[in-house]
Amino acid sequence: MSEKYLLSSVKNAMKILRLYSPKQKELGIMEISRKLNIPKSSAHRLVSLLVKEGFLSKNPRTNKYRLGLSILTLGGVIFSHHELYKEALPIVRKLVDTLNESAHICLLEEEQVVYLFRIESSQPDRLLTYIGRKNPIHCTSEGLCILAYQSKKTIDKVLSKNLYAYTPYTITDPDLLKNKLKKIKKQGFAISKDDFFVGYVGIAAPIRDYTGKVVSSLSMVGSTSRITEERYPIFIENITKAAQKISEHLGYVKINA
């Protein structure tokens, strides 16, 4: 193949990936061919390659193509434990069925929290938390829950940035946030109410890998009209137990003193 042909193929493959958005989740071969103004055979060949590499996947019900989980690696997310997290998804589904609120497994990437998995509840409201989305650490329970267990150097780096106040209740003072992180680490869970969205509360628990290091978090986010303070204890109990089970899937063994 000529260099010109290869470069053209790479450009068109990237253009295919750019066609997808939260509003455009699936595309057929004909749609891709039409949108990029390329032959159907070329579109099919490029899509087949992207499927093979995991950047696209085929929906067997619609015969259309959607983004594959490998697309997350383009953002620099370390994805080596993906299959282990995938095996733990039944635990998250059971949690959602029990409490009827959306749940997420999240990772840290630089100074943001990234949503690796999301399972929705039957509740009508929908927050902007989809797979691959990045949100701030300092005002989300899922971000703070991971940050609380990181090194002092990492904490200082995150809190040294200009922290934006998303609501009137967002804590942006580094000293106050450090105190909050100490409390989270001591109690083993994080609660963030009205900090990112007014009228919503997030409750998160840490997930550990086989070394005992906190590498991610399990969180549930819902309206404060449903997740009231009186219900916090039942959410904390269920979320922390589910996070512990996921940690066990990652090889973590808790040693009792």
- Reply yes or no on whether the pLDDT at 70 is more than 90: no
- Reply yes or no on whether the pLDDT at 81 is more than 60: no
Sign of CA dihedral 194, 197, 199, 200: negative
Q: What is the number of helices (H) and of strands (E) in the chain?
A: 9, 8
**What DSSP designation does 24 have?**
B
User: From start to end of the chain, where are the E strands?
Assistant: 56-59, 64-67, 102-109, 112-119, 134-136, 190-193, 200-208, 214-223
pLDDT score, position 80: 46
- Reply yes or no on whether the pLDDT at 233 is more than 90: yes
Read off the pLDDT of residues 98-157 as tens digits, 9 standing for 90 and up.
999 999 999 887 678 888 888 888 876 656 555 557 789 999 999 999 999 999 999 999
Distance set, CA 212 to CA 39, 208, 215 (Å)? 52, 5, 9
Domain architecture of the chain: domains with CATH: 3-67 (1.10.10.10), 75-249 (3.30.450.40)
Read off the pLDDT of residues 195-225 as tens digits, 9 standing for 90 and up.
999 999 999 999 998 788 898 999 999 999 9
pLDDT score, position 100: 93
Q: Are 131 and 117 in contact (CB under 8 A)?
A: yes
Q: What CA–CA distance (Å, rounded) separates 121 from 97? A: 7
**Angle at the Cα of 75 from the Cα atoms of 70 and 78, rounded to 5 degrees:** 70
Q: How many residues does the chain have?
A: 257
Write the single-letter amino acid at 171.
I
pLDDT score, position 126: 59
Write the single-letter amino acid at 118.
R
Q: What CA–CA distance (Å, rounded) separates 173 from 98? A: 36
Strand partners, 216: 207
Closest CA to 194 of 217, 231, 167: 167
Q: Are 113 and 143 in contact (CB under 8 A)?
A: yes
Composition of the chain by helix, strand, coil, percent to 5: 45, 20, 35
Q: pTM score > 0.85 for this model?
A: no
